[in-house]
């Protein structure tokens, strides 16, 4: 344990001055605040003269953190929320009689226990009136314990990758301030390029994430990034699949980074157990050992110690909450708990590590059989499925990300001895999650009920009707979007026009919005006579119309066309091809899934083209092998009925070039970290390739239809 962590117990807020000129906070625009400055800001924070409950929608900005620290320094309990403006937050503020910075003086001051320091919502859900009561001792002891086992030192720098009203995000701030380390402030997501630019510029050493954060990291090619300053990688806030724990443990070990899989609850301030990095690869299904200062036992319902279990996991330590608050009267109560019954079923392994095996109330009792939802989830995970299991005593409900196997319900029914009708399998685009990133089982149950109750018909003139018309024959789900369904340049135009009739002006990100999100915007008033078109729609429509006009003989006469011009809208189509890759396929390309992207393109476009070529070959009695191999554009053999389709061959070759390029980890890392710079470099490289092709190839014969001549249009897109 380093020296800073050992003294953290005196209180992270009242001990700010002892770190002096050491940097405490760094903002996204590069401003720096020392501990001395933060102490002064905390003392100057605008708080009422009378001790009261302070409500703060805490953001990662110095002013909000100063108010939080100022309240702790003066002994004012503080209610931390995501905001103070939403209906749910206003209801909580009114219920507990909390003061906000907008109020002149507290309207009413409920009786407050002298030990009460912080109030947090459970599970990161700010809509719940049930709050966790934490004391100054809870906060300080947990910060010291975390700093101890993570070996956090004054030279460390964490970055705010999680909300500060969430206990895990708050613990990162607290544990770093407790030892004189720095915190880099940003509201950007780990999926944003700006987050990583700030991370690298300020040399962050600590990155924290919940399971959903790690899903985003995987999608954006995190493990291909070059992050020389990264020293500590932590995960909590829910169970990370053991396979991913092993992956990150091995990846971290190879790079000299320490990866900590951790377990905690808001009721224990933040942290209960941690898995030492050297054990993560070999014990990836365990939560590890209790944090310094705490103990873990496995007990039965009567509180008897079961030894190695299994039984309910019970935690004891100075960070166990004072208790819950469901109304203002509870704020006067003192500490009521000596132990925290976590509600998790656990066992202790032969190596002395604790392992979670289920939840106490996560089961369905069907036909006399008790079916553990957690057990079903683990079995599905072993089968390679991303699934969430819920249900009641009427049915077992399984949500599967993507397209589930057709026989999944039958297989589960047979495995657990149930009638097939008792198992309901639903496909979803993304799993419902709480703001904390944990699975939202309540939303999952609601979604399942809505699916079962939904009628087969679709209301005319609705968002659902637009989707049904654009994607006929598809099994549509509320979480589906135009992008997730594989919308392309052709149905983009029609879809956008139909959708605008239903919801009015289209938001810029409408292709990524789900059917449910778009339905919430439905405009059932009279339609406007004048409409504004999305620029994407105009460009796509112009490109398609130009192809049709020229290929039907109604385009620009050849003697009027500019020298070296392309027939039809091939140039525009190439640009749109690049645009589609950048807008809709960027996450998969950055995640190293280029073959999947190419497979979709070849399956939906090129196979149809090859079918046309095959039929044409049968008609002619001779197969055109260069065309079938998608290389006829390199031979300068034109003049047949198939000539107008040369751009499909060029597009197929460009797709393969993109796959090869993004198969290189360093390229993916560079593209993710600096997207605009990468785009500019691609454009310059493609111009150089075009110039080289003009020198080495006879483009008069090839008519500028080869890969080298067209990569520049892809790069522009």
Would you call 216 helix, strand, or coil by DSSP?
Answer: helix
Residues 6+ apart with CB under 8 A from 273: 262, 263, 264, 287, 288, 289, 290, 291, 296, 354
How far apart (Å, rounded) are the C-alpha atoms in residues 404 and 399? 9
Choose among 187, 158, 189, 161: nearest CA to 175: 158
pLDDT of residue 601: 74
Choose among 73, 58, 78, 77: nearest CA to 11: 73
Question: Is residue 510 situated within a structural domain?
Answer: yes
Domain end, chosen from 429, 453, 477, is at: 453
How far apart (Å, rounded) are the C-alpha atoms in residues 572 and 538? 12
Question: Is residue 488 situated within a structural domain?
Answer: yes
What CA dihedral angle connects 374, 378, 384 and 390, to 10 degrees? -10
Q: Report in angstroms the alpha-carbon separations of 54 from 46, 76, 172, 174, 218.
A: 11, 7, 21, 18, 39
- CATH code (residue 248): 3.40.50.12780
Tokens of 443: 């939303």
Would you call 185 helix, strand, or coil by DSSP?
Answer: coil
Would you call 258 helix, strand, or coil by DSSP?
Answer: strand
| Other Cβ atoms within 10 Å of 415 Cβ, number | 11
Taking a C-beta distance cutoff of 8 angstroms, is the pair 71, 12 a contact? Answer: no
Residues facing 34 on adjacent strands: 23
Residues 6+ apart with CB under 8 A from 459: 465
CA-based R_g, the chain, Å: 30
How far apart (Å, rounded) are the C-alpha atoms in residues 148 and 291? 9
Q: 556 burial class (0-12, 13-18, 19+ CB within 10 angstroms)?
A: middle
Question: Is residue 8 situated within a structural domain?
Answer: yes
426 and 400 within one domain: yes
How far apart (Å, rounded) are the C-alpha atoms in residues 499 and 487? 14
Which run of H or of E encompasses 172? helix 167-179
pLDDT of residue 254: 93
Q: Report in angstroms the alpha-carbon separations of 702 from 195, 389, 477, 693, 708.
A: 45, 58, 47, 11, 11
Question: Is residue 458 situated within a structural domain?
Answer: no
Range of the domain at 102: 3-354
pLDDT of residue 528: 43
pLDDT of residue 450: 64
Domain end, chosen from 533, 554, 589, is at: 533
187 and 314 within one domain: yes
Taking a C-beta distance cutoff of 8 angstroms, is the pair 171, 270 a contact? Answer: yes
Tokens of 613: 């070529």
Domain end, chosen from 318, 337, 354, is at: 354
> How do the residues of the chain divide into helix, strand and coil, expressed in percent and rounded to 5?
45, 15, 40
- CATH code (residue 373): 3.30.300.30
How far apart (Å, rounded) are the C-alpha atoms in residues 568 and 546? 5
Chain segment 615-664, per-residue pLDDT in tens: 877 877 777 777 777 777 777 655 555 566 677 777 778 888 888 888 88
Per DSSP, the residues of 385-424 read --EEEEE-SS-EEEEEES---TTHHHHHHHHHT--GGGEE
Tokens of 572: 């525009």
Taking a C-beta distance cutoff of 8 angstroms, is the pair 400, 411 a contact? Answer: no
Q: Alpha-carbon torsion 469, 473, 478, 479, what sign?
A: negative
Q: Could you tell me how far CA 223 lies from the centroid of its own chain?
A: 16
Question: CA angle, 636 as apex, 630 and 638 as ends, to 5°?
Answer: 85
Question: Is residue 26 situated within a structural domain?
Answer: yes
| Other Cβ atoms within 10 Å of 102 Cβ, number | 8
349 and 328 within one domain: yes
Residues facing 208 on adjacent strands: 234
Question: Is residue 368 situated within a structural domain?
Answer: yes
How far apart (Å, rounded) are the C-alpha atoms in residues 689 and 697? 11
Q: Which residues of the chain have pLDDT under 70?
A: 1-10, 123-129, 365-370, 393-394, 419, 421, 435-436, 448-461, 469-477, 486-494, 497, 508, 522-573, 580, 582-584, 587, 591, 604, 636-645, 673, 717
Residue with tokens 């067209």: 710
Residues in the chain: 717
261 and 171 within one domain: yes
248 and 183 within one domain: yes
332 and 190 within one domain: yes
72 and 10 within one domain: yes
Does the model's pTM come out above 0.85? Answer: no
Which run of H or of E encompasses 675? helix 675-696
691 and 606 within one domain: yes
Q: Report in angstroms the alpha-carbon separations of 597 from 38, 346, 384, 591, 658.
A: 49, 42, 21, 11, 10
471 and 421 within one domain: no
183 and 97 within one domain: yes
Question: Is residue 376 situated within a structural domain?
Answer: yes
Choose among 239, 279, 285: nearest CA to 260: 279
Chain segment 333-361, per-residue pLDDT in tens: 999 999 999 988 899 999 999 999 877 77
> Quick check: bond before 388 cis, omega within 30?
no
Question: Is residue 538 situated within a structural domain?
Answer: no
Which run of H or of E encompasses 181? none
E strands along 3-66, which residues?
A: 23-26, 32-34, 54-57
| Other Cβ atoms within 10 Å of 716 Cβ, number | 15
440 and 522 within one domain: no
pLDDT of residue 250: 94
Choose among 158, 163, 134: nearest CA to 146: 158
Residues facing 348 on adjacent strands: 354
469 and 429 within one domain: no
Taking a C-beta distance cutoff of 8 angstroms, is the pair 654, 711 a contact? Answer: yes
| Other Cβ atoms within 10 Å of 666 Cβ, number | 10
Residues facing 425 on adjacent strands: 398
Question: What DSSP state is assigned to residue 109?
Answer: -
How far apart (Å, rounded) are the C-alpha atoms in residues 427 and 403? 6
Q: How many domains does the chain have?
A: 4
């Amino acid at each position: 344990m380093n020296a800073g962590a050992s003294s953290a117990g005196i209180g992270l807020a009242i001990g700010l001055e002892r770190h002096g000129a050491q940097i405490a906070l760094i903002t996204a625009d590069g401003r720096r605040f020392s501990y001395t400055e933060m102490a002064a800001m905390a003392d100057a924070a605008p708080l009422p003269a009378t001790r009261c409950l302070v409500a703060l929608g805490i953001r990662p900005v110095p002013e909000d953190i100063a108010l939080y620290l100022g309240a702790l320094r003066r002994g004012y309990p503080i209610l931390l929320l995501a905001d103070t403006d939403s209906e749910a937050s206003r209801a909580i503020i009114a219920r507990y009689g909390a003061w906000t910075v907008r109020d002149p003086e507290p309207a009413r001051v409920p009786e407050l226990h002298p030990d009460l320091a912080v109030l947090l919502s459970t599970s990161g859900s700010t809509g719940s009136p049930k709050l966790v009561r934490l004391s100054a001792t809870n906060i300080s002891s947990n910060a010291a314990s975390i700093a101890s086992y993570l070996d956090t030192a004054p030279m460390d720098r964490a970055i705010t990758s999680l909300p500060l009203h969430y206990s895990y995000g708050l613990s990162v701030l607290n544990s770093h301030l407790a030892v004189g380390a720095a915190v880099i402030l940003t509201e950007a997501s780990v999926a944003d390029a700006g987050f990583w630019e700030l991370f690298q510029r300020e040399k962050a050493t600590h990155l924290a994430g919940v399971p959903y954060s790690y899903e985003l990291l995987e999608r954006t090619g995190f493990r291909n990034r070059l992050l020389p300053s990264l020293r500590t990688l932590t995960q909590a806030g829910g169970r990370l699949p053991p396979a991913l724990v092993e992956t990150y443990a091995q990846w971290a070990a190879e790079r000299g980074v320490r990866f900590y899989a951790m377990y905690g609850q808001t009721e224990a301030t933040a942290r209960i157990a941690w898995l030492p990095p050297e054990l993560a690869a070999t014990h990836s299904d365990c939560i590890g050992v209790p944090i310094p200062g705490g103990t873990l036992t496995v007990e039965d319902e009567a509180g008897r110690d079961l030894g190695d279990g299994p039984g309910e996991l019970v935690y004891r330590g100075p960070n166990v909450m004072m208790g819950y608050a469901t109304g203002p009267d509870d704020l006067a109560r003192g500490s009521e708990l000596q132990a925290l019954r976590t509600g998790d079923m656990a066992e202790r392994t032969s190596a002395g590590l604790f392992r979670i095996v289920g939840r106490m109330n996560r089961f369905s009792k069907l036909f006399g059989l008790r079916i553990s939802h957690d057990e079903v989830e683990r079995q599905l995970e072993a089968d390679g499925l991303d699934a969430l299991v819920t249900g009641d005593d009427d049915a077992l409900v399984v949500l599967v990300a993507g397209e589930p196997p057709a026989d999944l319900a039958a297989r589960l029914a047979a495995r657990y001895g149930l009638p097939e009708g008792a198992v309901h399998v639903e496909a979803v685009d993304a799993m419902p999650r709480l703001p904390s990133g944990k699975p939202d089982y309540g939303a999952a149950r609601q979604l399942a009920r809505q699916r079962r109750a939904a009628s087969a018909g679709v209301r005319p003139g609705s968002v659902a009707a637009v989707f049904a018309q654009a994607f006929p024959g598809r099994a549509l789900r509320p979480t589906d979007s135009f992008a997730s369904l594989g919308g392309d340049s052709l149905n983009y135009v029609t879809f956008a026009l139909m959708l605008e009739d239903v919801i009015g002006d289209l938001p810029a990100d409408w292709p990524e919005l789900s059917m449910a999100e778009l339905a919430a915007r439905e405009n059932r008033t009279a339609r406007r006579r004048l409409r504004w078109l999305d620029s994407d729609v105009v460009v796509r429509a112009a490109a398609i119309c130009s192809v049709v006009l020229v290929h039907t003989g109604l385009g620009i006469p050849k003697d009027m066309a500019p020298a070296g011009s392309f027939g039809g809208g091939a140039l525009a189509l190439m640009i749109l091809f690049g645009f589609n890759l950048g807008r809709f396929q960027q996450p998969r390309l950055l995640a190293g899934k280029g073959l999947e992207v190419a497979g979709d393109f070849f399956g939906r476009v090129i196979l149809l083209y090859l079918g046309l070529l095959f039929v044409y070959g049968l008609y002619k009695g001779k197969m055109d092998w260069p065309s079938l191999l998608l290389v006829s554009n390199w031979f300068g053999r034109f003049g047949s009925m198939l000539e107008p389709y040369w751009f499909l061959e060029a597009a197929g070759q460009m797709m393969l070039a993109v796959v090869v390029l993004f198969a290189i980890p360093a390229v993916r890392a560079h593209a993710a970290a600096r997207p605009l710079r990468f785009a500019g470099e691609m454009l310059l490289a493609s111009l150089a390739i075009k110039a080289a092709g003009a020198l080495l190839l006879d483009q008069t014969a090839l008519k500028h239809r080869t890969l080298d001549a067209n990569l520049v249009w892809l790069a522009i897109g």
